[in-house]
Chains A and B, each alone.
Chain A
Amino acid sequence: QQQVKQSPQSLIVQKGGISIINCAYENTAFDYFPWYQQFPGKGPALLIAIRPDVSEKKEGRFTISFNKSAKQFSLHIMDSQPGDSATYFCAASSNAGNMLTFGGGTRLMVKP
């Protein structure tokens, strides 16, 4: 039973467009929601993260929107660039960031 569900599995966006990836979780004990970015042949790297006491966090072109009542959160990539082409994972944790539970991943391709 996957505790964090991620959609879509793959996404194609034109350069300059907005990429949106959605995640839903079940465990209300989760208190930390990071997004990781992974390039081929590399390990995942932390991109941006949010706590449930805020509804939105923005860092540059990347924004997390968080809906605690719906148990959903999403990643928005504004002005998407070909260099953003990667696999993105949402995750959740309830143990000081340890023991991350990951979503299934979204492979993003940004076309020039």
Chain B
Amino acid sequence: NAGVTQTPKFQVLKTGQSMTLQCAQDMNHEYMSWYRQDPGMGLRLIHYSVGAGITDQGEVPNGYNVSRSTTEDFPLRLLSAAPSQTSVYFCATGQGYEQYFGPGTRLTVT
């Protein structure tokens, strides 16, 4: 029972490149979300999903796309990476009031 897994752990991109951050959960939760963590800013919600086929925007959605075709997976796509997207990205899943976070992906955009 892995909980929440994220790949890759580290990634370096050049400005303008695209990539997908993967997130998978085996906890059978309907709710999944993506946060970015920046120093002094805490974690900020990017996108979230309340179930397969349903997604919505969080606080900082610009530059990111998501889709949810299965309960288990919730990938985050960067369409055209910018240096401002340098951050640590966390995927989370939950049921009710407890959210479980993955180990994170550290992304650097040069």
A interface, CB within 8 angstroms of B: 2, 4, 6, 9, 32, 34, 36, 41-46, 49, 89, 91, 93, 96-105
Contacts and interface: CB of A to CB of B under 8 A. Distances in A.
- State which size class the interface on B falls in: 20 to 34
Contacts of B78: none
Contacts of A91: 42
B20 to A, nearest CB: 19
Contacts of B58: 99
Contacts of B99: 34, 46, 97-98, 100
B40 A98 contact: no
A99 to B, nearest CB: 6
Q: Is the interface of B mostly helix, strand, loop or mixed?
A: strand
B31 A98 contact: yes
A99 B45 contact: yes
B71 interface: no
Interface string B38-78: 00111111001010000000110000000000000000000
A2 B43 CA distance: 11
Given A45-B101, A46-B98, A93-B97, A98 B42 contact: no
A97 B97 contact: yes
Nearest to B103: A43
B44 A9 contact: no
Contacts of B31: 98
Looking at A89, A91, A98, A99, the one whose CB has the most chain B CB atoms below 10 A away is: A98
